[in-house]
Amino acid sequence: MKERLIRLKAVRKLIKTYRIESQETLLGHLQKEGFIVTQATLSRDLKLLKVGKISDGHNGYVYSLPGDDERRETGRTYVHDFLRGYISIDWSGAMAVIKTYSGHSDSVALAVDNLGLDDVLGTIAGRDNTVFVCLREGITGEGFMARMKESIPELED
């Protein structure tokens, strides 16, 4: 978990510091920094960080991080989507189940995925009203709820 947070911080720093045109270039910089990472993992990191490409003003494109205002707005959107769609959360072992209003499972799962919780391995949205959340080994349901409440203070038990 800490490794991922440190790597994400390094990715942000590298994008701010260097003119990076491709994942291969970014992988090279990360390797120089001592990170061993696959292209697939880097791709997920870039998606999580909402990294995009912008014109360099010449003939190419470079990676760019979203502005603070955009990040805050996106985060608020995910929180709003979660709160609008969830009914309850329960858990057993390393699995949490979020019951949602009909038709809200996709948006609730997407919100959980994009809150950036390292406790979560991933989500599976049911067809209509259930989201399954797979937790990392050693993470309890109580721990998951505590992290959710840190991210979404309006969340009720």
pLDDT on residue 70 = 53
pLDDT on residue 114 = 82
Pull the structure tokens for residue 109: 């799962």
Nearest partner of 43 among 59, 63, 17, judged by Cα = 63
pLDDT on residue 47 = 86
pLDDT on residue 127 = 85
Identify whether the C-beta of residue 50 lies closer than 8 Å to the C-beta of residue 65: yes
pLDDT on residue 72 = 54
Rounded Cα distance between 45 and 87, Å, is: 30
| pLDDT tens for each residue of the chain, 157 residues long | 568 889 988 998 999 888 899 999 999 999 999 999 999 999 988 988 888 888 777 778 888 887 745 555 556 788 889 999 999 999 999 999 999 999 999 999 989 988 878 889 999 998 889 999 999 999 999 999 998 998 888 887 6
Q: Domain-by-domain residue ranges, the chain?
A: 2-64, 69-151
Pull the structure tokens for residue 141: 């349901």
Highest CATH level, class, for 69-151: alpha beta
Is the CATH number 2.130.10.10 carried by domain 2-64?
no
